[in-house]
Chain A
C-alpha cells in the first residue's frame, strides 16, 4: 500500500536526536571559528590595524619577525570609519584578533577607556616603556592607573599646504587668523581653492574645529575639559562658538571648494596634492596620503592653523595617535605582549613615529622627526598643545554628533548655537 511506502521510518525521538546533533555540531563549529580567530594555539598572530597606522605597524611587525624567526603574523587594515564597526562586531562576538587598533583616551566606541571598562584589553603596565609616558598624556594610555594601549607618539593637526600653490599666489605661511583670511583671499583671486574640505567623509568635518579650539578655548581656559566634566562649562557657552563661527566664515567667504558636503576626503587630498587647492586642515598622520597625491613629496608642507590674532594664544592640537592593544581574550597574549614590548624600545618607537609622521612618545638622544613637523615642536615642548578634544569626552556619542552638526552647519540646516546645544546634549548623556 502506498500509505505503507510513505510511512515514516524515523520516530519523533530519533528526529529530535538528529536535530539536536546537528545543532550541537553547528554550535561547536561556531565556537571553533571563534577560537581560531581569537588566537588559538597554532597559526599566526592575528592583527587588525587602522589604515593610518599601516606604515609604522607593518615596519614594526616585519622587523620583529626578522629578529624572531618563529614569529608569524596575519595583518589587515580598516579605514577609520569602518574600523570600529568591524572590530566591535568581532569583540561582541568574542572573536577579536589577538592585537587590534584602539583609539587613545575616551570618546569613541573603540577607545581605550570604553574597551578597558568592558575588560577587553590586556594590562601592559609592567612593560618598561610605560614608565616613559609623560604625565600629560597618561589619560590617553591609562585607565585606573593601568596602561592598556601602545601608541608611538603624538600626531599634530594643522594645515597641510601645497608650496607651489603658495608660491604661485605669492603668499607666505600665516601666523594669525587675519593673515590666514588674507592668504585665502589672495589664493581665491588667483583661481586657487584656498582650503580643500572633504566633509562628506564624517571624521574630516571635525578637523577645522579641532585646529581652532586650542586657540579659542584652551589658551584661555586650560582646564576646560575638567569644567565640562564637572558640569560648570558648556560647548555653547565657550570659545567653541567662536571656532564654529570662524569655520562658517571660511565657508561664507568662499574659501572652501564648492559643495564640501558632497566632497570626500580622497577628493580633497587630490585637490591639494595637485595644487588645485592650496591647503587642507588635517592630522600629520595622513601626510603620506597627501604626498602620494602630489607630483613630489617636497611640494607639501605643514603649519599650525592660527585661530586668533594673538600669536601667543594660538595653541595647537596634538594628540596621541591611534594605538595598539592586546585582546584580553587572546590565547597568544604573551606573544602579543612581547611584540608590544619590542615596539616600546626607543629605536622602534622612532622608526614607527617617523613612518606615520608623528612626534615619538620618548627618545634617547635627538628624535628623528619628519621635517614638516618642525613648526609644531616648540608648541609641544612649550605646553601649548591640547590633546584631540574627543579623547576627554565622556561617551561615544559626542564625536559623531559633532560630525553631523558640522555637516548641518555647512548645509545651512542649523545655527552655531543649535549645533553646540546638540553637542552639549550628547555630552550630558551617560557613558
Chain B
C-alpha cells in the first residue's frame, strides 16, 4: 500500500507591514492635503470664526462688538419674520423636492426609450441647468410681467385663457409658487440626468424575464425599476432638499423676499439682517441655526433613504 503523503503545507507569507520612516504621512493624505488645505482656509476657518459672531452684537462693520451670550438665539425664537421665513422655506422645499423629482423621473423615463429624438430631448431638458440661476430668474421675471399684454399673461390671452392672468410675483399668495415653479423648471433636468443614470443601471434581463412572466409596464416599474432606482432617489432627494432649504438666488433676484415678507426664506432673512439691517451677529445666529437644521434634516433623510436602498 502506498501511503499517500499529504503535501507539505506552505506557510502563509507574513503580512506586509507598511513601513514608515521617520513617522511620515501616508500617501492618501498627501494627495488630499492641498484640497483639504483649501477647504480649511475657505470653508472651515471662516465658518468657525463666523460662528463666534452669533454670540455678539456686531453690526458687520467696524470693530465695536460685545458678547451677548444667547440673546440672538432668543430673539430668533420670537422673530415673526424669521418664523414666517421658516414656514416659507419648508413649503418651498417640499414643493421642490416632490415636483422637481417627480418631473425629473417622468422626463428620465420619457427619454430612456428608443424614440429617435431622445438625445436631443435630453439636451433640451438639461439645458436650463447650465444657465446661471440669476439669468434664469431675470428671464422669468420678464415672463411673469403682470401687464396683460406681456409675458405669460399675453400667452394665456393668446390661447383664450385670459381669465387665468395673474400678478405672478406681486400677489402675496401666489409669489412663492411662482418662484418654486422657476426653480423646478430649471432643476428638473438635473434630477432627470441622475434618474437616467440610475435607469441605465437597471439590467435589461430583469425586464425581459418579467415580460415573459406577463408583467405589464406599471408592474415592471413598480417591482423592478423603482426599487433599483433607490440610490438615484437618495441622491436626488438629498440634493433638492438641501437646495430648497438654502434657496436664495432666485428669491433675491425675482422678489427680494416680497411682496412684504411673502417669499422670505431663512437664507434671505439672514442676508437682510446682515447687509440691510446691519445686524451681523443676529444674522450669523440665523445662519448657524439654518446650518444645524439642514445638517439634521440631511442626516435623518440619508439614514432613511439608505435603509430603503438596503431593503430594495
Contacts and interface: CB of A to CB of B under 8 A. Distances in A.
B275 A84 contact: yes
Contact of B172 (A114, A120, A397, A408): A408
A3 B279 CA distance: 56
A109 interface: yes
B167 A8 contact: no
Contacts of A7: 19-21, 24
A400 B27 CA distance: 54
A239 B45 CA distance: 51
A92 B280 contact: yes
B79 to A, nearest CB: 11
A30 B24 CA distance: 31
A200 B73 CA distance: 31
B64 A109 contact: no
B146 A407 contact: no
B277 interface: yes
B272 A400 contact: yes
Contacts of A12: 23-25
Given A22-B37, A410-B259, A258 B146 contact: yes
A119 B59 CA distance: 12
B128 interface: no
Interface centre among B60, B262, B277 (most CB of A within 10 A): B277
Given A88-B278, A400-B276, A6 B27 contact: yes
Given A118-B59, A259-B146, A260-B170, A8 B26 contact: yes
B147 A258 contact: yes
B301 interface: no
Contacts of A26: 41
A405 interface: yes
B204 interface: no
What's the dominant secondary structure at chain A's contact region? helix
B163 to A, nearest CB: 15
A88 B22 CA distance: 50
Interface string B30-68: 100110010001000000000000000001111110000
Interface in B245-265: 255-262
A411 B278 contact: no
Interface in A260-317: 260-263, 267
Interface in A179-235: 199-200, 202
B276 A200 contact: no
A3 B33 contact: no
B18 interface: yes
Nearest to A6: B27
Contact of A404 (B18, B37, B260): B260
A91 interface: yes
B171 A261 contact: yes
B195 interface: no
Contacts of B261: 404, 408
Nearest to B37: A19
Contacts, number: 152
A395 B256 CA distance: 21
A413 B275 contact: no
Contact of A397 (B60, B170, B277): B277
Interface string A3-17: 110111111100100
Interface string B273-300: 0111111100000000000000000000
Contacts of B62: 117-120
B258 A258 contact: no
Given A114-B59, A118-B64, A258-B146, A4 B24 contact: no
A148 to B, nearest CB: 14
Contact of A411 (B257, B259, B279, B280): B259
Contact of A396 (B18, B37, B63, B277): B277
Interface residues of A, number: 52
Interface in B139-188: 144-148, 167-172
Nearest to B40: A23
A109 B167 contact: no
Nearest to B178: A262
B278 A396 contact: yes
B256 A85 contact: no
Interface in A35-86: 81, 84-85
A233 to B, nearest CB: 23
Contacts of A408: 172, 259-261
Contacts of B280: 92
B75 to A, nearest CB: 10
B16 interface: yes
A1 B38 CA distance: 34
Given A3-B19, A22-B37, A200-B170, A262 B30 contact: no
A377 interface: no
Given A7-B24, A12-B25, A114 B33 contact: no
Contact of B167 (A91, A261, A403): A261
A114 B169 CA distance: 33
B276 A109 contact: yes
Nearest to A430: B57
Contacts of A397: 277, 279
A193 to B, nearest CB: 11
A87 to B, nearest CB: 9
Interface in A344-359: none
B27 to A, nearest CB: 6
A403 B272 CA distance: 13
Interface in A233-262: 258-262
19 contacts: A4-B19, A7-B21, A8-B25, A11-B23, A12-B24, A15-B30, A85-B271, A88-B275, A91-B61, A119-B62, A200-B169, A200-B170, A258-B146, A261-B167, A267-B145, A404-B260, A405-B260, A407-B172, A413-B172
The 4 closest A-B pairs by CB, nearest first: A118-B62, A262-B170, A261-B170, A408-B260
Interface of B: 16-27, 30, 33-34, 37, 41, 59-64, 144-148, 167-172, 255-262, 271-272, 274-280
Given A120-B61, A200-B170, A261-B172, 19 more contacts: A7-B20, A8-B30, A10-B24, A81-B256, A84-B275, A84-B276, A85-B271, A88-B275, A89-B275, A109-B275, A114-B59, A119-B62, A200-B169, A200-B255, A200-B258, A258-B147, A258-B167, A397-B279, A413-B262
